C-alpha cells in the first residue's frame, strides 16, 4: 500500500503526491474499517495498482478534490503475504467501495483510468458520487460509475470515454458529438444582394438579378431626355458601384467585385465618348 488507514477515525490526508508502480494488486490508499476520515487535495498516480483508493467496510468518509490516474494490468496475480480479509480485488478502477462501505461522499475528484470503470461500488449503499470528472475505457461521467447495488446517489458527473477523440465535444441533450471543423453560420440578409449561405459561398443569383434590374432601370431613366445623353450611363455607373459595395460587404468573392468595377469603367468611358461626339456635331 501507498497509505493505509485501518480502524481509524477522524484522520485527514491532504495535499500529498503518491506515485506507485507494481505488478501485483495493491492499493495506493486504503481505508479498512475506517470512518469519518477526510481524503482530499491529493495527487495519486499508479501503474499496476488495481484500486487507487479502496474502502473496505468503511463508512462516513469524505473523498474530495483528488486527482487520480489509474493505469493497471488486471491479469497479474495479487501480492503474496499474510492473509488479510481485505484482499485486493483484481480490477483496475480509480475508487473501489466494497463490503459495507456505506454513506461516503465522493465528489469533485478527477479520475482517469484505462480500466472499465472510474468508480466501482460493490456491496455498499447510501454513498454519494457527485460532481466528479470521470473517464474510463467504457465511458465518461455517470457512465464511468459501476454500482452493483443500485442503492447509491450518482449524479452530476462529467467526462468523456478514455481514449475518445478529443476533437469531439459532448452534446448534453442527445449525447451526440458536435464536430467543429470551421463551418460558418448562415446569416439572414433578406432583400440584399451578395448574401452568403452556411458554407460561405456567395448567392450569385441574387447579385445577378439585382444587377440586371438596376441596370435596366438606369437605362430607361437615361433614355428619356436626348439633351442629357450622359445621364443614363452615369446613373448605371452609380448603380454598379452601389451593387459592388453591397456585394463586397455580403461576402462575394473578389473576382466578381473586380468585374463590376471594370464594367463601371467601361460605362463611364462610353458616356464620355458620347458627350465628345455631341460636342463635335
Q: Looking at the predicted structure, is the pLDDT value of residue 21 above 50?
A: yes
**Smallest Cα–Cα separation from 171: which of 180, 181, 162, 182?**
180
- Identify whether the C-beta of residue 52 lies closer than 8 Å to the C-beta of residue 62: no
pLDDT at 180 over 90: no
pLDDT > 90: percent of the chain: 36
pLDDT tens digits, 189-244: 344 444 434 334 433 344 343 434 343 444 444 444 434 444 555 555 565 556 55
Q: Where exactly are the structural domains of the chain?
A: 3-165, 204-280
Residue with cell 473523498: 63
CA distances 71 to 21, 85, 116, Å, are 10, 25, 11
pLDDT of residue 281: 57
Q: What is the mean pLDDT of residues 97-118?
A: 94
Whole-angstrom distance, CA of residue 56 vs CA of residue 11: 16
- The reported pLDDT for the residue numbered 108 is 98
What would the DSSP string read from start to end of 59-105? BS-EEES-EEEEE--TTSPBPPSS--SSPPPS--EEEEEESS--S-E
pTM: 0.55
For the ranges 27-31, 55-59, 184-188, 218-222, the lowest mean pLDDT is seen at 184-188
Percentage with pLDDT > 70 across the chain: 50
Q: How many residues does the chain have?
A: 281
Amino acid at each position: 500500500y501507498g497509505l493505509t488507514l485501518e480502524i481509524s477515525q477522524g484522520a485527514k490526508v491532504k495535499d500529498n503526491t503518491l506515485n506507485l508502480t507494481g505488478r501485483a494488486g495493491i492499493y495506493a490508499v486504503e481505508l479498512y474499517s475506517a470512518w469519518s476520515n477526510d481524503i482530499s487535495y491529493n495527487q495519486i498516480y499508479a501503474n499496476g495498482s488495481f484500486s487507487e483508493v479502496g474502502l473496505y467496510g468503511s463508512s462516513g468518509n469524505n473523498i474530495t478534490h483528488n486527482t487520480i490516474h489509474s493505469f493497471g494490468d488486471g491479469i497479474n496475480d495479487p501480492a503474496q503475504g499474510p492473509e488479510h480479509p481485505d484482499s485486493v480485488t483484481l480490477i483496475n478502477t480509480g475508487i473501489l467501495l466494497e463490503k459495507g462501505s456505506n454513506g461516503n461522499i465522493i465528489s469533485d475528484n478527477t479520475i482517469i483510468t484505462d480500466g472499465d470503470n472510474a468508480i466501482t461500488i460493490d456491496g455498499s449503499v447510501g454513498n454519494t458520487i457527485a460532481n466528479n470528472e470521470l473517464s474510463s475505457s467504457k465511458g465518461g461521467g455517470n457512465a464511468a460509475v459501476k454500482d452493483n447495488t443500485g442503492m447509491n446517489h450518482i449524479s452530476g458527473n462529467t467526462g468523456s470515454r478514455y481514449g475518445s477523440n478529443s476533437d469531439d465535444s459532448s452534446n448534453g441533450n442527445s449525447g451526440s458529438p458536435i464536430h467543429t471543423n470551421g463551418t460558418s453560420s448562415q446569416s439572414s440578409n433578406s432583400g440584399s444582394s451578395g448574401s452568403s449561405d452556411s458554407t460561405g459561398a456567395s448567392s450569385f443569383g441574387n447579385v445577378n438579378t439585382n444587377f440586371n434590374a438596376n441596370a435596366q432601370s438606369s437605362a430607361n431613366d437615361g433614355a428619356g431626355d436626348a439633351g442629357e445623353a450622359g445621364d443614363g450611363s452615369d446613373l448605371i455607373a452609380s448603380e454598379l458601384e452601389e451593387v459592388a459595395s453591397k456585394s463586397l460587404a455580403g461576402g462575394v468573392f473578389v473576382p466578381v467585385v473586380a468585374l463590376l468595377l471594370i464594367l463601371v469603367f467601361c460605362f463611364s468611358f462610353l458616356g464620355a465618348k458620347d458627350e465628345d461626339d455631341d460636342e463635335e456635331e
